[in-house]
Structure 1
Amino acid sequence: MESAKFKLYLGADYVSAFAMSAFVALKEKQRLFELVTLDLKARENYQANYRDLSLTCKIPTLVHEAFALSESSAIAEYLDELSPGPQKLYPQDPRQRARARQLQAWLRSDLLVVRKERPFDLVYFGKKDTPLSDDARAAVERLFFVADRLLGEGAEHLFGDWSIADTDLAIMLNRLVANGDQVPSRLAAYVHRQWDRDSVRAWMDIARKAPAIA
């Protein structure tokens, strides 16, 4: 089991925030894995062979032996339960672990307007010139409130030691930091710390082509 190789299916453009989260989880767990890319613009993720693998036609999907699993948070939980060491992806305290999962679920289910107006590809390819709408600003304020409450004063990470929830929160915040939007200084510093992890650097070091301008 420990020596088994994994496959991570993701978009060929390497810009998905959810794919990044799964990639970071694999790197943090020091797992050997192969990246398998799909052309999402050509809708390869809706072809029968991938549909049958992923069930939901979504990326990323992790394949381990004969088991395939989609949804980046589910992937992280599976990896952590599969082998507790060397790096834990979730806090060991039950309440902190539940809070980390709550945060992950909220980041994935809310803040759609922020994801739309500050798409994650700007982290790789440059800023958006348009100001945030009123709805987006309200969502950003909710994001800042949650981040400020969960990140203790002077803390490097959310729950003492690093967890995958730190990567997920930093991904959302970096949509704003990378764009030059106004972000509280300690939250911006938190993003930069998370972006300096080896696992995140490995993701950012992947070569990408900027999308063609229409």
Structure 2
Amino acid sequence: MLKVPLRLYADAQFASPYAMSVFVALREKQLAFELFGVDLGSGANREESYAAESLTQRVPTLAHGDFALSESSAITEYLDDTFPETLVYPRDRHLRARARQVQAWLRSDLLPIRQERSTEVVFYKNEAPALTAAAEQAVEKLYFAADRLLSQDASNLFGDWCIADTDLALMLNRLVMNGDDVPAKLASYAARQWERASVQQWVKLDRPPL
């Protein structure tokens, strides 16, 4: 049987946390895929050919043969359903639901952190100014939830690694890599997650200048 090709469309700077999440999932599953950059700055995501495939005109988009899907957590769930040999979500239904909760929260909340600590801090080493009061409140919420989810010496959220670990580590590293004050337990967790081979493969991609 011929293998159906996989194509991942990410932002041209490879700085999207959501494209990173899908890239890591594909690497963890040891699936062969082609990686393409989409120049969001020039509006390439709104061009008819890409818009028709993506539907939401966003990155990432994964094309699997003639089926295409955007929105990162939808993609990683699809990958687990389609390629279940190596899972990126917990097998236990409660833990799997919790992992999805963490992913949905990181994507829908904490906007001041995402605005004031963009991934340019992480992937381009750009320094950001001091956090505003609104961002400080979001940081407190992030630290509270992460602290409750992680035991003192936890390497992963739920025992075995899952894709929500990559997403949470990136959110924490927006702060860690800018030199913000991050509790030692959370900074240590983020550092361990960052050493994961699949994560480092994304980190080491060649990026064009901003």
TM-score normalised by structure 1 residue count: 0.95
Where do 5+ consecutive residues of structure 2 fail to align?
A: none
Q: 8 Å contact 1:5–1:31 — kept in the other structure? A: no
- Could you say which residue in structure 2 is the equivalent of 1:202? 201
**Structure 1 residues 175-197: Cα deviation after superposition (integer angstroms, max 9, x where no partner):** 00110100000110111111101
Partner of 1:155: 154
Equivalent residue number for residue 139 of structure 2:
140
SS at match of 1:41: helix
Cα displacement string for residues 39-77 of structure 1 (whole angstroms, at most 9, x for unaligned residues):
111100001111110110000000001110001111110
Structure 2 counterpart of 1:51: 51
**How big is the shift at 1:127?**
3.8
How far has the Cα of 1:126 moved from its partner? 1.8
Question: What residue is the counterpart of 2:192 in the other structure?
Answer: 193
The alignment-based identity, stated in percent, is 53
Contact kept, 8 Å, 1:46 with 1:57, in 2: the verdict is yes
Aligned to 1:183: 182
1:105 and 2:113 are equivalent in the alignment: no
1:25-40 superposed matches below 5 A? 25-40=25-40
User: Conserved in 1, the CA contact under 8 Å of 2:194 and 2:200?
Assistant: yes
TM, length-normalised to structure 2: 0.97
Q: 1:129, CA displacement in angstroms?
A: 4.1
- Aligned CA RMSD, in angstroms, stands at 1.2
* 1-structure distance, mates of 2:2, 2:19: 22
Runs (5+) with no aligned partner, structure 1: none
Separation (CA, whole Å) in 2 of partners of 1:210 and 1:188:
28
DSSP 3-state at the match of 2:40: coil
CA-CA distance at 1:155 after TM superposition: 1.5
Q: In 2, distance between residues paired with 1:124 and 1:63?
A: 25
Q: Is the 8 A contact 2:61 2:69 kept in 1?
A: yes
Instruction: Tell me the matched-pair count.
Output: 210
